[in-house]
Amino acid sequence: MVVDFHTHCYKPLLAKKATSLIPPGSPYGPHYDGTTQGLALSMEKSGIDYSVVLNIANSPMSVKAVNDYAIELLDHKQLIPFGSIHPDYSDIEGEIVRLKERGIKGLKFHPYYQRCELTSKSSYKAYEIGAKHDMIMLFHGGHDLMVPGDNSNPRLLRQILDDFKGAKLVFAHLGGWGCWDECFKLLIGRDVYLDTSFAFMFLTKEQVEFVLNNHDNKKLLFGTDGPWTNATTELTNTKKLTTPYLDDILSGNAVKLLGL
C-alpha cells in the first residue's frame, strides 16, 4: 500500500485557475489538471492507493465553501480530505466540530495564502481548538515558490511544536523548503511528523541520508505535492531510499496517524 500524504485537487473552474498560474515549461507541473478526476488518474498510473487532499481557506469568507468541498470529497474512497480553518473565522470551534462529525481527520494551515501570522493570537486559538478535538494539523513548511515571504520558517514551526506538545502536528516539505540548514538544526530529530513532499528532490544525497539517519523514520510521511510534481517519479525515487522503514514511510506511518 502507498499513501500520498500531500496532494491537491479542486473544482473544475478553480483547478483551471490554479494550474494556469504555473509558467509554461515549468519543471514543477502541473502533472495533472488539478481536478479530482485528474488526481484519481495520476494515482492509478503511479500506483498510489490513498491520497490526502489538502484544502486551504484563503480567507475567513471562504472557510465554509472550502470545507463543504472537503466533505464532498469523502465520497471518493481513495481520497482523505483535510479541511481548513482561517484564524480570523468567526466560529472556529463550530466549524471544526462540523468537520469532525462528518469524518474529516485534519486541517491544513498555509500562512502565505491565508495571509496570516503563524504564531499570532488568533492562529494559536485555532490550533488550540484543533488540538482539543484531536485533529491532525498540517502546516506548510519553509518558503513558497509562488508567494514571497518568510512567515512559515523552521523557527516558527519549532515554536508551535514546543507550545503544542502532544498535538498531532505535521510539517510539510520536511518543515523547511528552501531553509534546509534551519530545518536540519531545529526540526530534524524532533518529535514531529514531517512529510517528504517537494523536498528530497532538492536535497543532495548526503542531506537525504542526514534526514533518514537523524529523524525518527516512524515520523516521516511520503508525499508528492501533486499536481506540482510527477507522482510516478516521486514514488520511484522514494522507493530507492536506504532505510529499513521504507514501508512505514510509504504507508505505515500514515495509516497509524490517520487511523485507517
**Span 169-179, pLDDT tens digits:** 999 999 999 99
Q: Which amino acid is at 145?
A: L
| pLDDT (tens digit per residue) in 70-107 | 999 999 999 999 999 999 999 999 999 999 999 999 99
Whether the CB-CB separation of 92 and 246 falls below 8 Å is answered with no
Helix (H) or strand (E) run with residue 6 in it? strand 3-7
| Strand, helix or coil for residue 231 | helix
Tell which residue, 208, 209, 147, 150, has the closest CA to residue 176: 150
Cα 236 from chain centroid?
20
Domain spans of the chain, in order of start: 3-258
Q: Is the pLDDT of residue 146 over 80?
A: no
CA distances from 123 to 91, 181, 190, 198 (A): 13, 26, 22, 25
pLDDT at 26 over 90: no
User: What pLDDT, on a 0 to 100 scale, did the predictor assign at position 8?
Assistant: 97
Residue 150: is its pLDDT beyond 90? no
82 within 8 A of 107, measured Cβ to Cβ: yes
Q: Is the pLDDT of residue 23 over 80?
A: no
Name the architecture of domain 3-258.
Alpha-Beta Barrel (3.20)
- To the nearest 10°, the Cα dihedral for 195, 200, 204, 210? 30
Compare 256 and 150 and report the one with higher pLDDT. Answer: 256
Residue given cell 488518474 in the structure block: 41
With a cut of 80, say whether residue 258 has pLDDT above it: yes
Overall residue count recorded for the chain in this entry:
260
pTM, full prediction: 0.96
